[in-house]
């Protein structure tokens, strides 16, 4: 993709420039401190450089090390979009002493308080979200961060916090570096695909309508997102599973409606038979949603859909797949319904 090529070339140039003239390269990077893409690429380059060093020496020079130190101890720690690059960089920066244990402990304490304040502001006046839920969400967020950075490089106070939150159990998160990829043991579903199918349409709808993640679920990375992914797989195998239940389907959380559309899309690509009347109803409903509308979510930022944007985009992709599929024959006014839905989904396509 164009985006992937841009990122590749940016990473390559940052690494070359740091190696040839680190002072000049760092000066340029500092001028781009408001550009998230540049910062993420720079963090990735620094982590890779530190990862490749010999056991007895650090491969980055003083200028680069100071730049990395300042970026790591900035406010970026509480910004989720930087996690895939920030955590590996922290792991190696702590290993080589670029960030001291005391500095790290202070950052963790400040970040914990800022994240708790963020959740408090986000969930103010929302029923069911009190002080206990705010503390649970903050604990889960900081525990995931400490787990991914690695318990062996934590400072004294941050290690105590990690051990308190882990309850003496195994790590719930693991980070593996493969290029720019962050791999975690989640998101997960409270029930399996086979259990979903075994429940039948009515009982599964009851479950999807009533299920809410508990504190224990949050530590096991069980979430609406995880359940939605399993639901998409189930629908891909049984596309007519919810046939004649469209009214209840349209009342589900947007993340589950999105999962059904994605399941239909997967099935359609393999020649599966889609319940077209239900599909048209879902596409019409999605086309009428406002992407800017804020929705009440449960869990962390990636555990639930905070708006209708993802639903509308999934609907646009599915509508495009329907339009070009050799396996679909439209009857009556279905083709007109599809075109009307596509027009309403144009901004999302």
pLDDT tens-digit map of 110-121: 999 998 888 888
CA angle (327, 331, 337) in 5-degree steps: 95
Phi-psi region of 112 (alpha: psi -120 to 50; beta: other; left: phi over 0): alpha
Helix, strand, or coil (residue 209):
helix
pTM for this model (two decimals): 0.51
Please calculate the CA angle 52-53-54 and round it to the nearest 5 degrees. 125
Cα 126 from chain centre: 23
Mean pLDDT of 83-91: 82
Whether 127 shows a pLDDT value over 70: the answer reads no
Peptide bond preceding 187: is omega within 30 degrees of 0, i.e. cis? yes
| 330 φ, ψ (degrees, to nearest 5) | -90, 145
Residue 227 corresponds to which tokens in the numbers above?
Answer: 């359940």
> Between the ranges 38-47, 232-241, 296-305, where is the mean pLDDT highest?
232-241
Mean pLDDT taken over the chain: 83
pLDDT > 90: percent of the chain: 36
Q: Between these two residues, 32 and 216, which has the higher pLDDT value?
A: 32
Q: Please state, in angstroms and as integers, the Cα–Cα distance from residue 57 to each residue in 60, 71, 88, following that order.
A: 9, 22, 18
What average pLDDT does range 199-223 have in this prediction? 87
Per-residue pLDDT at 175 exceeds 50: no
Residue 70 banded pLDDT, cuts 50, 70, 90: very high
- 39 token code pair: 């910062």
Q: Helix 193-210 vs helix 224-237: angle between axes, to the nearest 10 degrees?
A: 130
Measured distance CA(61)–CA(54) in Å, rounded: 14
Please state the rounded mean pLDDT for residues 264-270: 93
CA–CA separation, 127 vs 106, rounded Å? 33
Assign 166 a pLDDT band (cuts: 50, 70, 90). Answer: confident
pLDDT at residue 246 tops 50: yes
Q: Which residue has the tokens 């304040």?
A: 117
């Amino acid at each position: 993709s164009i985006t992937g090529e841009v990122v590749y070339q940016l990473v390559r140039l940052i690494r070359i420039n740091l190696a040839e003239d680190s002072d000049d390269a760092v000066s340029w990077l500092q001028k781009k401190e408001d550009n998230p893409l540049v910062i993420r690429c720079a963090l990735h380059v620094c982590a890779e450089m530190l990862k490749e060093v010999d056991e007895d020496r650090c491969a980055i020079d003083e200028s680069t090390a100071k730049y990395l130190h300042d970026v790591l101890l900035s406010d970026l720690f509480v910004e989720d979009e930087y996690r895939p690059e920030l955590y590996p960089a922290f792991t190696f920066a702590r290993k080589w002493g670029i960030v001291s244990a005391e500095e790290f402990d202070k950052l963790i304490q400040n970040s914990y308080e800022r994240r708790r304040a963020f959740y408090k502001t986000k969930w103010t006046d929302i029923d069911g979200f009190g002080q206990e839920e705010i503390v649970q969400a903050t604990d889960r967020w900081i525990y995931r961060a400490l787990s991914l950075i690695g318990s062996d490089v934590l400072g004294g106070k941050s290690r105590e916090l990690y051990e308190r939150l882990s309850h003496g159990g195994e790590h719930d998160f693991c980070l593996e570096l493969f290029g720019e990829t962050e791999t975690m043991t989640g998101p997960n579903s409270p029930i399996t695909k086979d259990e979903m199918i075994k429940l039948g349409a009515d009982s599964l709808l009851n479950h999807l309508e009533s299920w809410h993640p508990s504190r224990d679920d949050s530590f096991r990375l069980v979430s609406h997102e995880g359940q939605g992914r399993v639901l998409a797989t189930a629908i891909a195998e049984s596309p007519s599973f919810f046939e004649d239940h469209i009214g209840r389907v349209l009342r589900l959380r947007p993340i589950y409606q999105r999962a059904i559309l994605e399941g239909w899309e997967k099935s359609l690509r393999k020649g599966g038979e889609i319940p077209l009347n239900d599909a048209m109803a879902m596409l019409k409903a999605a086309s009428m949603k406002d992407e800017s509308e804020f929705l009440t979510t449960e869990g962390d930022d990636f555990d639930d859909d905070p708006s209708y944007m993802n639903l509308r985009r999934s609907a646009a992709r599915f509508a495009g797949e329907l339009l070009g599929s050799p396996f679909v024959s439209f009857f009556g006014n279905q083709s007109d319904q599809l075109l009307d839905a596509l027009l309403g989904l144009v901004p999302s396509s």
